[in-house]
Homo-oligomer: A and B are copies of this chain.
Amino acid sequence: MNFSLGSERAVVGVDVGGTKIEIGAVLGDGTVLCSKRYSMDRSSQEATVSSVIDALRDFMGTTWPGAKLPAIGIGLPGDIDPQRGVWLRSLNMRISQPVELAHLVRVQYGCPVFVDNDVHAATLAELYWGAGRDSESFVYVNIGTGIAAGIVSNARLLRGTSNFAGEIGHMVVEPEGEPCHCGHAGCLENVASGGGMIQSAIKQMERYPHTVLRQFREEDRLSSSTIFRAAEDGDELAAAIAGRALRGLGIAMVNIVNLLDPEQLIFGGGVLRSRKLIAYLEEYVSRYALAGNRASLKSVRASSLPVDQVGLLGAACLAFNQEEVN
C-alpha cells in the first residue's frame, strides 16, 4: 500500500451504489474528514455516469475545494478493469458499454484515479483499517442484495485473471435447487442473499397463510434481516427460509476454509452483523472443515468498520493502494 502519500494529505473516495453516491475526503489512517451523499439516477448508462461526474464536481467545488489532490478512488458495482480504469458492465446500473471512468475523471482533476468493484474495495478497507489489519490471509464475504467475496492471501487481494475473483454468490450449494439466472441451479445467492431470500418468501407465501412475512411485505419491510428476526420469533415460513440460507452459507464457508486455508472469515453487509448468525457459521465451520484448516482459522467475525462507511473507506483505499494495481 502506497502510504507514502502520508496521512496529512487526504484522498477522495467515491462510493457508487444503487440508490446513492457517497463522496468523502479520507486520510491515510482511515479518518473521514468530511463526506456528502448524492442521489443516483440510474435510468440509463448516460444518467448513471453523469450522476457520478456531477456529484464529484459538486463535492470538489463546495465541500473539498482544497489543495491539489493526490488521488481519487472510485468503488463501483459490477465488472471493472482496474488496470485500464474501465467500468466494463453492471446490470443494476445499466452499464452495458465499457466506460473509461478513470480517464474521464483524471482529465478533470489532474490526479491519478483508481477504480475497482465495491467488494474488492471493501476488502482492501478491511485489510488496512478493519478486522483484517493483523491478518495476512482472510476472506471477506459481503452479503447484501447479492453475495460476493474478497480473498486476501499474503496480505494482497487476489484478483484472478481479469479481476473477477471472489464470485462466491454463484457457488452451488443446492445442486437440486431452483434455477439461477446464471444458468446453474442452487447458487448461494439464490438461497442466502437479501434478494434471494425475499424471492423465496414471496414464492412460498401462499402456502403459509399465517406468516408474518405477508404483513412485512405489505409494509414494504420484507428483507433478510426481518426474515431472520421472524424466524427467531417462531414464524414457520421465515424459519424455513432462514434455515436454508444458513445451511447454504455454512456449506460455502466450509468450502472456502478447506480450499483457501484462511486465518479469518470476515462478514460485511448489514445482515451478517448479527452475533447469532455468525456464531452459527463459526459452529458449522468448526464442525465440518478439515482439522488442519479449522486450526488455521483464528476467527469468524463481523467487519469492524461502520456499515455505512465501509463503501467510502474502500473507495479511498483504492487511491492509497495504487502501487498494487499498477
B-side contacts of A163, CB under 8 Å:
261
B-side contacts of A149, CB under 8 Å:
259
| Closest chain B residue to A264, Cβ basis | B161
Q: Is the CB of B263 within 8 A of A172?
A: no
Q: Is the CB of A261 within 8 A of B164?
A: yes
CB under 8 Å from chain B, chain A span 139-198: 149, 151, 153-154, 156, 158-168, 170-176, 182-184
- Complex: how many Å from CA A288 to CA B184? 6
- Complex: how many Å from CA A149 to CA B255? 13
Q: Is the CB of B176 within 8 A of A287?
A: no
The number of times this chain is found in the oligomer is 2
Q: Is the CB of A175 within 8 A of B259?
A: no
- Complex: how many Å from CA A162 to CA B257? 12
Q: Is the CB of B160 within 8 A of A296?
A: yes
Q: Is the CB of B165 within 8 A of A259?
A: yes
Q: Is the CB of A296 within 8 A of B166?
A: no
Q: Residues of A within 8 Å of B, CB-based: how many? A: 49
User: Closest CB of chain B to A301's CB: distance in Å?
Assistant: 16
B-side contacts of A171, CB under 8 Å:
255, 258-259
| Closest chain B residue to A79, Cβ basis | B292
Contact of A166 among B251, B254, B259, B288 (CB under 8 A): B259
0 or 1 for each of A255-294: is its CB under 8 Å from B? (1 = yes) = 1101111110000000000000000000000011010110
B-side contacts of A259, CB under 8 Å:
149, 151, 165-168, 171, 256, 259
| Closest chain B residue to A172, Cβ basis | B251
- Complex: how many Å from CA A251 to CA B186? 11
Interface check A322, CB cutoff 8 A: no
Q: Is the CB of A255 within 8 A of B172?
A: yes
User: Closest CB of chain B to A83's CB: distance in Å?
Assistant: 13
Interface check A303, CB cutoff 8 A: no
- Complex: how many Å from CA A261 to CA B295? 27
Q: Is the CB of A290 within 8 A of B258?
A: no
6 residue pairs from A and B, CB less than 8 Å apart: A79-B292, A136-B161, A153-B153, A159-B261, A175-B247, A255-B255
Q: A162-B293, A165-B259 are in contact. List 13 more A-B contacts (CB 8 A).
A: A159-B261, A160-B260, A160-B262, A160-B293, A160-B296, A161-B261, A162-B292, A164-B293, A166-B261, A172-B254, A175-B247, A182-B288, A183-B287
Chain A interface (Cβ < 8 Å from any Cβ of B): 79, 88, 136-137, 149, 151, 153-154, 156, 158-168, 170-176, 182-184, 247, 251, 254-256, 258-263, 287-288, 290, 292-293, 295-297
